[in-house]
Amino acid sequence: MIIELLIAGGAVTTVNEFRKIGKSLKIDEEAMHRYAKSFSRSADAKRMIEQCEKSADESMLKLANRKRAILKSSIKDFLEIYQNIQNISFIEGEGIKELSSLSLSNADIKQLGTMSVSSNIPLSDKEMITSVMFKGITSTMIKDSERKLSAANNQMRAANVEYSQAETIALLYNEIKNRADKMADLLKQMNAILVKSVAETRKVIISSDNNAKNFSRDDKLVVINCINWVKGVKEILDAPLFNKDGELEKQAEEAIRIGEEKLREIKGAI
C-alpha cells in the first residue's frame, strides 16, 4: 500500500514537473515572439523615416526645379523686355543655393536609438540555491523564463519609444514636404500670372515703340504691376526653407503667407 502510494505520488510529481517545463518553454517562446515583434517595429521605424526623407527630398527637388524653371523662363523673358528698367537683380539667392544641393541632414536620423538588446537580470547564487531548494528546478526555470519575458517586454517598450521618435522625425519631414509643396504650388500660380503680365507688358512696350512719352496711364500701370509682381515672385524664389542651423525658416513661412495673400488679391481683382 505504501509503495503504491509512493509510486502514485511520484507520478503526480513527475507530471507536475513536466507541466512546469512546458510552461517555461511557452514563456520562452512568448519572449522570443515579443523580441521578434519589437525588432520588427524598430525596423519599421527606420523605414518610415527613410520613406518620409525620400518623399521630402522629392518635394524639395520639385521646388528646386520650379524655381530654376521660373528663373530660366518667365524671369528671363521679363529681363529681356525690361533691359532699360531693370533694377531688380536676379542673382541666385540663398533659397536657390540651398535647394541645389538637395541633401537633407541625416545626422538626426542616425542618432535614432541603436538597437539595444535588453539583458536578463541574473539570479544571484543565493537566489538560485534558495529557489532550487524550495521551489525545485522547474520552478526556477519558470522564473528564469519570466525574466526573459520581462526583458523582451523592455525591448518592446524601447522599440515603441524608437517608433514614436521616428514618428516625430517623420512629422518634421512631412512639415518640410508640406512647406516645399506649398511653395512650389504658390510659385506655379504666381508664375502663371507673371507669364500673362510679361506678355501684356511686352505688348505695351511694342505698341509704345519704347518711347516713354507714348505710355498712357494704363500702360504705366501694366508695367508697374508687372514689376511689383516680379518682386513678389522674387521674394518667394529667394526664401530659404531652412536657416543655417537647419531649422525651418520663418522667412519662408512669411513669404508663403504674403504670396498667398497677393494671389488671393489678384484673383479677386480678376
Partner 1 sequence: MKKVTVSGKCNACGLCTIDQKYLEESSTGMAVAVSGKYISDNDLQQVEELVRNCPEGALSIVEEVLNMSKQDFVKNAVKQLESIAELGKPKSSDFSFISSDYLLSTGFPNGEGDYIYSTRDKAIKAALKEFDRIAYSQIKVMALNVLTMYKSKCLAPYYDLDSPNLYDENNKKIENILKEINGRYKALFGESLGYEFETFEAYPDRDSNSTLRGLFKNEYFAPTLASKVEKKMNAEYPISQYSCYCYINDREVWEEKGAFGREKYVRRYCYNSIENAVDHLKENVIRNVSYTDCQASAHAFACSLIYQYNYNMKKEIRERIDILKRLK
Which residue of 20, 27, 49, 66 would you call a contact of partner 1, by CB under 8 A? 66
Which residue of 21, 61, 156, 263 would you call a contact of partner 1, by CB under 8 A? 61
Q: Which three cell numbers stand for residue 127?
A: 537566489
CB-CB contact of 81 with 202 (8 Å):
yes
Which residue of 166, 184, 237, 239 would you call a contact of partner 1, by CB under 8 A? 184
What is the nearest approach in angstroms of partner 1 to the Cβ of residue 24?
A: 15
Which residue of 13, 14, 16, 51 would you call a contact of partner 1, by CB under 8 A? 51
In sequence order, what are the residues at sequence separation of 6 or more whose Cβ sits closer than 8 angstroms to the Cβ of residue 256? 179, 182, 183, 186, 236, 239
Q: Which three cell numbers stand for residue 103?
A: 541633401
Contact string 204-243 vs partner 1 (x = CB under 8 A): ----------------------------------------
CB-CB contact of 89 with 213 (8 Å):
no
Report if residue 70 touches partner 1, rule: CB under 8 A.
Answer: yes
Range in contact with partner 1 (rule: CB under 8 A) among 3-11, 109-117, 245-253, 262-270: 109-117
User: In which element (H, E) is residue 205 found?
Assistant: helix 125-208
Report if residue 40 touches partner 1, rule: CB under 8 A.
Answer: yes
Cross-strand bridge partners of residue 242: 248
Range in contact with partner 1 (rule: CB under 8 A) among 64-72, 83-91, 202-210, 229-237: 64-72
CB-CB contact of 51 with 173 (8 Å):
no
